[in-house]
Structure 1
Amino acid sequence: MSKRKKTKHPFPCFSLWQQFKRKIYRTFAIFVLIFLSSVLLFRFVPIPISAYMLQQKIGNLLAGNLSTPIHYQWIRFEQMNQSIQLAVIASEDQRFASHYGFDWEAIKAALQHNKNGKRIRGGSTISQQTAKNLYLWHGQSWLRKAIEMPTTLVLETLWSKKRILEVYLNIAEFGPNIFGVEAASQHYFNKSAKQLNYAEAALLAAVLPNPIIFHVDKPSAYVKKRQQHIQRQMHLLGKQYLNQLNEG
């Protein structure tokens, strides 16, 4: 019985390209599967470390700061005072409970403001910031923004609003190497996040646009002005907003 001879592809370059495409598709499918699995897992379990924390750790190592620790402590939503929950919503994303990951009105207003204003304003929602901090890297690039959009939609689809806010408050940066409201409360006020009052919560929220430039322990006149504005917005929103969020 004669062996069947293998026929060579008339266009070997085309065959190699097909194999390469299959590998790319397979790699992408595996990546998506791992990502979706992690989103489902993090819907229930505490976040051990975020992509941005990892970025900071690597940055510290490359800079030779081997002894610089990351201050991070996960706490449950119920262990946070409602003042800090309300403060970040009042400061960062007042339509958080009603939008589906993107606040197009805020984005449009930010673009208009940035054309004329000296101080750059962002239009990112809490959902977008959670996606960025948890899975992506910091820095301005169209690639990151392009990945951020579907990542945000996945979080909005698979997580509740309460869970998104809980994760955001746990992984947001409040100062150099200080992540989450519990670590920030302990560091700046020597108390737990459960004991924060309105003024302290508003001050923490006031530095969130850029916690490297703005400081909780040495607030500038601008930060103090933001703090007062946030407190006024907190009183306007009221705890009824948080009750609506918990029910949604």
Structure 2
Amino acid sequence: MKCTAVGNVKPVLAMKYLMLAFLLAFSTPAKSQTTLDGLQIGTGSELSIVLLHGDEGNGGDPLSYFAFGADIARRIPEATVHMLLRPGYQDPWGRQSPGENFGRRDQYTIENAKIIAENLDRIGQDAPIVAVGHSGGAAQLALALSFGNAVVDEVILVACPCDLAMWRELNPQWPEDTIVRSVSPMDFNPSNATHVTIISGSQDSTTPSALSQNYAKHLDSLGISNKLIIVPDGDHSGNRALSTAWLTAIFAARERLAN
């Protein structure tokens, strides 16, 4: 989801964007070489919401969806939203996370999964966790759930390339070395997940719904609670249909944890 500047913005809306820009520029940097950098929005102590961005393989800002995170924090004041930069990523404001993303390609490695798991362990000490990953961030999150000690109460995987073998088969035009380092979430048991919501857009040509359907079957075979949602007219990047389903899933996770 990208924010687009619009002319003749009303003063209140302009102030909102100014405050969001301030958050981007001056939020607290990471304090450890083992801690993923990013943005922390909100001060709620009852719930931690972790957001992991997509690959942004074309060089875009991985935290360009900061308005989405800010909206979640506004709507769920009892939560703190952690918008993490995935391993090896940096944003235009100078924040950078440890790890290696290999030029934003073929990066779903065990090493990166362990870094994410370590951060989930740390954040999970404060409050129950709702962990959300989009696209490549979903694949890395799914892998991370097989490592570390934190039990992630709610997991939301959006547009996940969770079956790398099928993904490769669906793209015969890719060079043979496109997927070499990465490992497939299908080959692991995400035993640290209590409940997984898998969301896929019916019009997603980047990570087709078959990938999510296969992963849901994988979770079924492991006895892990999950729900698969195919969003009519949803795309890959986060059009209105997909982003609405994404937000609804976060609210549903919050309600389950409150009961």
TM-score by length of 2: 0.28
| Max Rg structure | 1
Between Structure 1 and Structure 2, which shows a larger proportion of helix residues?
Answer: 1
Between Structure 1 and Structure 2, which shows a larger proportion of strand residues?
Answer: 2
Between the two structures, name the one with larger relative contact order (CA 8 Å, sep ≥ 6): 1
TM-score by length of 1: 0.29
